[in-house]
Amino acid sequence: MGRTREFDTEAATSRAMELFWARGFDGTSLRDLTQHLGIGQGSLYAAFGDKEGLYRAALEHYRTTLAAAALRDLGNGADARSAICGLLMERVRIAVEQDGRGCLMVNAACERLPSTPSIRRVVRDTQDANRDALAGILRAAMERGEITTRHDPFTLAAFLITVLNGLLVSAKITPDIRTLEPLVDIALSTLD
């Protein structure tokens, strides 16, 4: 009979997410992970398969916690423009903290996508979910007359997600919110 797992995999995934977010996949060794999580290498392999499996779990955790919370907040906004501005500025603010650690999903896209189809799928699914949720909010705002109807809501949502991704990459290069804030204003002008 196998041994029962002696650690909380959800807590371990959350802690691994923070470590990967700070150091990246390549900058985080297996030894770093086992020390940070306080588990043995065998336990890590038993729970997640390998380092990449833990990374996928960390990305999924990010998606279901932080990214999902941002979308919920967006849906609870008073008006679409203010809610979208708040979403963009909050993501930029988080990205510039801690010397520009950025967004875990964007970091994964930049670091792991070319060589890892399973990571590409997680990142793409997250981007698609964000775009679809934003398109729904934009569609409703158009119906209420809050924003222009000259753009298709799906295309406008894809544009805003693309701008956000660019802002998050820029935040790694120049982690200064005052430099990035005017770019948010320009992106919001597409709602006029």
Position 151 pLDDT exceeds 80: yes
Q: Where are the domains of the chain?
A: 61-191
Position 1 pLDDT exceeds 50: no
∠ Cα 136 138 139 (to 5°): 65
Per-residue pLDDT reduced to its tens digit, 64-101: 887 777 667 666 656 888 888 888 888 888 888 876 77
Per-residue pLDDT reduced to its tens digit, 7-46: 788 988 999 999 999 899 999 999 999 999 888 888 888 8
Across 172-179, average pLDDT: 88
Q: How far apart are CA 165 and CA 106, in angstroms?
A: 7
Q: How far apart are CA 119 and CA 80, in angstroms?
A: 31
The domain covering 61-191 belongs, at the CATH homologous superfamily level, to Tetracycline Repressor, domain 2 (1.10.357.10)
